[in-house]
Amino acid sequence: MRLSRVIETSAAVAATRSRLAKVDELARTLREAAGVTDREDDRASEDLPPGDRERLVRITADYLAGTLPQRTVGVGYRGLRDLPAPAEEPDLKVLEVDELLTRMAGLAGPGSAAARSAAVAALFGRATADEQRWLVGLITGELRQGASDGVLLPAVARAADVPETLVRRAVMLAGFTGPVAAAALLHGEEALAEIRLEVGRPLRPMLAGSEPDVPAALTHRRDPGTPVAVDTKVDGIRLQVHLDRAAEVPARLFTRSLDEITDRLPEVVDAILGLPADTAVLDGEVIALDPDGRPHPFQVTSARTASSADPGTLAQRTPVTTFLFDVLHLDGRDLVDEPAHVRWSVLDELAPHLVVPRVVTSAEDEATAFFEQVLAAGHEGVVVKDPDAPYAAGRRGAGWVKVKPRRTADLVVVGVEWGSGRRSGKLSNIHLAARRPGTDELVMVGKTFKGMTDALLEWQTERFLALETHRDGYVVHVRPEQVVEIAYDAVQTSRRYPGGIALRFARVLRYRDDKGPDEADTLDDLR
């Protein structure tokens, strides 16, 4: 199968709003990868050996999801800045691209930088302009038209003619869609049913819904008198821990995105190896705390988990503290389908000193008081949890509901970027600026394309084209007249923006026509 076929499918999925059309398009391409096709240009792929056929289905599913199977190939934006002239006709095959990227990822040692640059030139020199753009997005993790679980998993089920519930459970336990798609399309229901939780292989983390306050979170209870657990929500790095004392690496640590960072957190490994268990899968967070037990800014924790340089020295300089809030497996017993209160009881016996602070209560005032106590201690908020809920990996629902205070700022739009995929032809990603105190200068503090409805995109495209001053590539610079109310989770230091700060998880709430730029918030307000 040609790479151009995958890109064609991605473009078709991005261009339609119909969920059924998206599922049909994805299922058709997955069947082609599995060798079930009427397309003349793909008939040669039907003669692939079984191992290559399985790889093709797996990689095609990953590519359609916008996922790089290698996770990283050692190339960032800088290495993709100066690409060779694109090819005129599509020639690259999916398996061939995967092999080239795997080789690229394996380059290390003296001369690897030059070898990697040569590999980039060789791959991109054979790619068309559309393929180059798509590959850049895939490698950098910015492929916005990657199909979500909401359409890809039903597409796998339809392509393989198997129940969607089986596909979802298998993906939950396997972590990634690619291997599940290969099992479903090539081996059917029986192969899906055989997929189990494996210690050492990360599964998808359970996700939380969101409410603005504790009373709203409590409305998700089955009845008003039902107790809930209220967990402290620390602003750290989500961590899934796998313990297997018989393995070559007895303790392995995976992030929320299922990337392994075991070598970066030796103090966490030591804490896990100290537990009285032979095998375990645990869910939690790690966070850097100051000597008084208050959390450092998120960036301090993030820097620890992002760096593998001298992990022992880093651990001594800025150690992280481990908090656990769930257990999914213990000494041969899978717990994902057990009620949460059973899992918590097991965790309390296994690691009472590592369990995140929580209260179990049916009283709204007690839950709210705990929330206020958590905020006063410097933490992010709470997660309200149903004691009877199973571990719904990879899904958001009423089982977990997070509550954290919403911070807002009134900022000025100084530029907008043209969108891609469904947003092609629309001005989408807005550049946000705050006032420098005591001056009329506006200083950029971030960007966002989140929180925008289709109607808002239409409005802001018309609005900002009317304010346009000039263009720089895909960026439309505008007169600084429009104020927008932005919600954000935190403010962090930044070397990217001249004000030295940036907004974390910024999203649009509304445009403020009742305010002028002179009423926008200042850098000091944000600090």
Residue carrying structure tokens 């078709």: 12
Q: What's the per-residue H, E or C state across 434-496?
A: EECCCCCCEEEEEEECCCCCHHHHHHHHHHHHHCEEEEECCEEEECCCCEEEEEECEEEECCC
Interval 359-386: pLDDT, tens: 999 999 999 999 999 999 999 899 999 9
Residue 14 has pLDDT above 90, yes or no: no
pLDDT of residue 42: 45
Burial label for 243, CB within 10 Å (0-12, 13-18, 19+), is: buried
pLDDT of residue 26: 96
Q: Provide φ and ψ at 66, rounded to 5°.
A: 75, 20
* pLDDT band at residue 309 using 50, 70 and 90 as cut-offs: low
What number is the average pLDDT over the span 57-70?
93
pLDDT of residue 82: 86
* pLDDT band at residue 40 using 50, 70 and 90 as cut-offs: very low
Q: Which of left, alpha, beta for 372 (phi over 0: left; psi -120 to 50: alpha)? A: alpha
d(CA 350, CA 253): 18
Interval 241-294: pLDDT, tens: 999 999 999 999 999 889 899 999 999 999 999 999 999 999 999 999 999 999
Closest by CA position to 156, among listed 291, 294, 64: 64
pLDDT of residue 444: 93
pLDDT of residue 271: 97
Residue carrying structure tokens 């950029």: 444
pLDDT of residue 144: 67
Q: Do residues 329 and 276 lie in contact, with contact meaning Cβ atoms separated by under 8 Å?
A: no
Closest by CA position to 419, among listed 142, 45, 57: 142
- Which domains does the chain carry? 3-190 (1.10.3260.10), 209-397 (3.30.470.30), 407-526 (2.40.50.140)
Q: Do residues 376 and 190 lie in contact, with contact meaning Cβ atoms separated by under 8 Å?
A: no
* Span between the terminal Cα atoms of the chain, in Å: 52
d(CA 241, CA 260): 10
Q: Do residues 198 and 281 lie in contact, with contact meaning Cβ atoms separated by under 8 Å?
A: no
d(CA 273, CA 243): 8
For residue 380, the 8-state DSSP code is -
What number is the average pLDDT over the span 482-511?
88
What number is the average pLDDT over the span 10-27?
91
Burial label for 365, CB within 10 Å (0-12, 13-18, 19+), is: exposed
Interval 437-448: pLDDT, tens: 877 789 999 999
What number is the average pLDDT over the span 399-410?
89
Interval 87-105: pLDDT, tens: 999 999 999 999 999 999 9
What number is the average pLDDT over the span 293-317?
79
Interval 188-244: pLDDT, tens: 999 999 999 999 999 999 999 888 899 999 998 888 889 999 999 998 999 999 999
pLDDT of residue 72: 87
- Of the CA atoms within 13 Å of residue 160, those in its CB half-sphere come to 27
pLDDT of residue 44: 42
Residue 308 has pLDDT above 90, yes or no: no
pTM: 0.78
* pLDDT band at residue 46 using 50, 70 and 90 as cut-offs: low
Percent of the chain with pLDDT over 70: 97
Q: Do residues 419 and 457 lie in contact, with contact meaning Cβ atoms separated by under 8 Å?
A: yes
User: Average per-residue pLDDT in the chain?
Assistant: 90
Residues carrying an active site annotation: 233
For residue 521, the 8-state DSSP code is P
Residue 41 has pLDDT above 50, yes or no: no
Higher pLDDT, residue 349 or 521: 349
What number is the average pLDDT over the span 302-321?
78
